[in-house]
Amino acid sequence: MPSAPGPATRAVHETFRRCRSNRRKLVRGAPFNRPKPKFAANISTFYKEAPLIKRYRIAQQVGFRAVECQFPYDISADTLGKAKIDSGMEHVLISSHPGDLTKGELGFAAIPGCEAQFLSSLKTSIRYAKALDCKKIHIMAGITGPERNAAMEETYVSNLTMAAHLLEKEGIVGLIKPLCKEVQPGYFLNSYSQAVGYLEQIEQNAQSKNIRLLLDVFHLQMISGNLQYNISNLLSHAGYVQIAQAPHKNEPGAPGEID
C-alpha cells in the first residue's frame, strides 16, 4: 500500500485542483489569445519527501501529465529515463548542468574564459534531455557579480548563438530566464528587457529563433511588476511559462502579491 501523502504533497494536490478548475477563467481573462495551458509539476520542488525518481509516479497519480525539474544530474540519465517511461509522463523541461553548486557555480554562459565548461555542460544537458525525450533546456547564465561588462555580454551572446545551432540539430529549444536579485544575487541575467535584447542579438547572429524566453511570472513580478502589461509584451518571445506566488515563491493561489 502506498503511504499517505504528507502535508506538502497535499498542498500541491490542492493547488493543481484549483489550477484545473480555474483554467477556463484564466484563459478567458488573459490579455492574449492562447491555447489552454498545459500544466507540468516541478518535481524539483514538489513531493520532496520522496526520491526524485519516484516523483514521476506521484505526479502522475495526482493527475499531472507532464513534469519539469531543475538539475537532475545526481542520477544517471538512464535511470531517470526509465522512471519517466514507467510513469507514462512527459518530461518537458530541465535546466542545464550548473557546474559545482557547492562552489557557487550556476552555469557558464556569460563567464569569459569558461567557454569550454559551457560547451561541456551543454553537451551533458543534451544527453539528459535526449534520455528523457525532453524538448526544452533552460540554459544557466552564471554568477558574474553585481556588475555586467562588455566581455560578459559578448561571451553570453556568442555562447548562446552556438547553443542555438547545436540544440536545433537535436530538436531541442534553448530557454533563458532572468532571476531576481532577491533569489540569486550576482546572477548575470536579472532583467527582462536585458533578456529580450540578447534574444534579438542571438536571433540575428544565429539566423534562428531556437533560443526563447522562459517567462517566469514569479521572477517577473519581483523584477518588474505590472504583470498584465509585461506579460502581454513578452509573450511573443516566450517558449515556456512558469508560475509561482510572490514574494515567497509559494504555490499559485497562496496569499501573496499575484491575484
Per-residue pLDDT of the chain (259 residues; tens, 9 = 90+): 344 445 444 554 555 455 555 444 443 444 445 556 689 999 998 899 999 999 999 999 999 999 999 999 999 999 999 999 999 999 999 999 999 999 999 999 999 999 999 999 999 999 999 999 999 999 999 999 998 999 999 999 999 999 999 999 999 999 999 999 998 999 999 999 999 999 999 999 999 999 999 999 888 988 988 888 898 999 999 999 988 776 656 566 666 566 6
Please check whether residue 255 lies inside any domain of the structure: no
Question: What confidence score (pLDDT) does residue 29 get?
Answer: 42
Quote the pTM value. 0.85
CATH number of residue 165's parent domain:
3.20.20.150
Please check whether residue 183 lies inside any domain of the structure: yes
Please check whether residue 257 lies inside any domain of the structure: no
Residue keyed to cell 544530474: 73
Give Cα 37 distance to the centre of its chain.
16
Which residue range is the domain that position 37 belongs to?
7-242
Please check whether residue 171 lies inside any domain of the structure: yes
Sequence-ordered list of residues with C-beta below 8 angstroms from that of 19, at least 6 positions apart, any chain: 39, 252, 253
Around Cβ 129, how many Cβ atoms within 10 Å? Answer: 23
Please check whether residue 249 lies inside any domain of the structure: no
Please check whether residue 219 lies inside any domain of the structure: yes
The dihedral through the CA atoms of 30, 32, 37, 41 has a sign that is negative
Residue 74: Cβ-neighbour burial (10 angstroms; 0-12, 13-18, 19+):
exposed
Cell of 152: 560578459
How many domains does one find in the chain?
A: 1
Length of the chain, in residues? 259
Please check whether residue 258 lies inside any domain of the structure: no
Please check whether residue 251 lies inside any domain of the structure: no
